[in-house]
Amino acid sequence: MIRNTFTFIPGIGPKTETSHWGKGIVTWEDFEKTLHLNGTGKTNKKVLLDYIQKAKEALNKKDISFFANHLPAKDHWRLYKDFFDRAVFLDIETTGLSRYYDVITMIGTFNGKEIKLFVKDNNLDQISKHLKKFDIIITFNGTLFDIPFIKNEFPEIAIPPIHIDLRFLLKSVGVTGPLKVVEKRLGINRDDETAKINGREAAVLWNRFLKEDDESLSKLVLYNIYDTTDLKKLMDHCYKAKIKMEVLKKINRDRTQQNLFGGDNRNYFDLTPPSSDFLLPKVTVRKVKDALEIRCDKKALLKVSRAQIRKPEVKLMDLIKKIKKNGYKPLVVGIDLTGSEARPSGFCILDANKAQMTLLSTDEEIVAKTLEANPDVVSIDSPLSLPKGRDCASDTCECRKIGIMRECERILKRRGINVYPCLIPSMQKLTLRGMNLTKAFEEKGVQVIESYPGAAQDILGFPRKRIDLKALEVDLMNMGIKPHSDKEVISHDELDALTSALVGYFYLAGMYEAIGNPEEKYLIIPDLKRK
């Protein structure tokens, strides 16, 4: 397709290019013939011929830099077939969605023939050297996710000069949605087990692998291989669809154009994508001494050492020592507040390493139990203030024009942590209840801080409750917390209350970041970099 392209030539846009195609000027050679036949000025003719000659030389030498510098980005897909041997399909797995707090766990690449895997703290740093082999990188949503994550971890990395993001290329041919939705629409199938996994669950698989579950690594690898190799199928679809929609359809539509060279113009456009005889391998994992060997069709792909993988770890006893050193007692109340007394709130008294959890309904109960515990600080999972400039939560008040979001929420959003604005309709009652409860505590001389368990869990590398509730409980207990509950099964509300209490420990230990501003007060989150 690149040999049928003219948009890299100055002065030739899509309309002019389509006009050339309709007239039978469908190759660079046709274009050169036309210039010699027509009365184009010598200077202009020389410029045009020079661009064609440079394009030919670049293609013969497989020098993609000429096209990277002159071909419009929307036409980069046209390079696919001729530069297929210099193209790589890439997909990453991460611990979460935040580039600020989360990290890459695995990068998979596929060049049409073989798979390469790069795993955190094992061979991940080799990805830079690997990508230098390629001129084209093909991703799905890589513009917004994969590439920024990679650049964040490897600031000096050289990304191939041509990046084709299939999310946007597919949209241009009328196919939209998340990766798996797109695959289903196009009849691309996965095995039943892998089809159930998404990005969030991939993070869970990684977490389980770190906890000695070898099978989770096998599932994660297979999931990544599907994500990576299916990109070729999607790219092949786009390549054919783009030629049909943007080339052949336009030629067929304009029947007034005369073919200067005779024949059917449409025969000059090759719809066949580059071939690949790759077959999806069977993935297995086996123990080899102190490592796990990932095998594809009985061929060793990579050895992974679990012991080499670094994970941010904070022990409860270390926090307690810092708290005592700072002159406080390690006793905090954490509250996972609901928007109504009709729904029970999670309540936790974290006293040294003992976590007493329960559910409480009324504000009166919450205040009474808190005062009875006599904590150094109360940590509440709820917005505890209004946006600066607002004096109420009503959507009908004139102050509504100021907005519904506070600075702390904007900061978390920018860092990639999902958070709800404090004054969206579903949050208004919660915000007001949190503010009233704070006033009641402060009138009793109790210090209150605002916490957000979801953010704290992301920072600590723990799964959120909706992702893997049991794993969240295990991670919290592995810190050294001894749980006590009046129920046989600890609820998600109680675990969030415990997380809020834990944020209080980070606050008393001085290992925290206060985000926001004085007018709106601050949201407290753990800061693992502070010692």
User: What CATH code is carried by the domain that includes residue 467?
Assistant: 3.30.420
Amino acid, res. 341: E
Q: Is the pLDDT of residue 367 over 50?
A: yes
Domain-ending residue, one of 75, 104, 131: 75
- Residue 83 vs residue 193, higher pLDDT: 83
Domain assignment of residue 148, yes or no: yes
196: pLDDT confidence band, cut at 50, 70 and 90? confident
Is residue 273 domain-resident?
yes
**Does a structural domain hold residue 257?**
yes
Mark whether 303 and 357 lie in a shared domain.
no
pLDDT of 165 higher than 80: yes
Task: Let me know whether 186 and 235 are in one domain.
Answer: yes
Same domain, 364 and 400: yes
Q: Is residue 531 part of a domain?
A: no
The residue out of 46, 75, 104 marking a domain boundary is: 75
Which of residues 24, 49, 75 is at a domain's end? 75
Per-residue pLDDT, averaged over 81-91, amounts to 97
Among the ranges 256-265, 338-347, 466-475, which has the highest mean pLDDT value? 338-347
Looking at the structure, tell me whether residues 468 and 522 fall in a common domain.
yes
Q: Same domain for 274 and 341?
A: no
| Selected residue with higher pLDDT from 482 and 21 | 482
Q: Which domain holds residue 37?
A: 2-75
Same-domain pairing of 119 and 198? yes
Cross-strand partners of 349: 333, 356
Count the residues in the chain. Answer: 531
Among the ranges given (272-286, 384-398, 422-436), the one the predictor scored with the smallest mean pLDDT: 272-286
Q: How many domains does the chain have?
A: 3
pTM, 2 dp:
0.85
Residue 266 forms part of a structural domain: yes
Q: Is 70 found in the same domain as 88?
A: no
Are 323 and 256 in the same domain? no
One domain, residues 338 and 280 = no
**Residue 208 in this model has a pLDDT that exceeds 70:** yes
Compute φ and ψ for 333, nearest 5 degrees: -105, 130
- In angstroms, rounded to a whole number, what is the distance separating the alpha carbons of residues 403 and 405? 6
- Asked if residue 237 and residue 175 are part of one domain, the reply reads yes
3-state secondary structure of 371: helix
pLDDT bucket at 211, cuts 50 / 70 / 90: confident
pLDDT band at 366 (very low <50, low <70, confident <90, very high): very high
Instruction: Give residue 261's pLDDT band: very low, low, confident or very high (50, 70, 90).
Output: very low
Decide: helix, strand or coil at residue 496.
helix
Q: 124 in a domain, yes or no?
A: yes
One domain, residues 270 and 401: no
For 331, residues 6+ apart whose C-beta sits below 8 A from its C-beta are 349, 350, 351, 352, 373, 374, 375, 376
Same domain flag for 293 and 195: yes
Question: Is residue 202 situated within a structural domain?
Answer: yes
To the nearest whole percent, how much of the chain has pLDDT over 70?
95
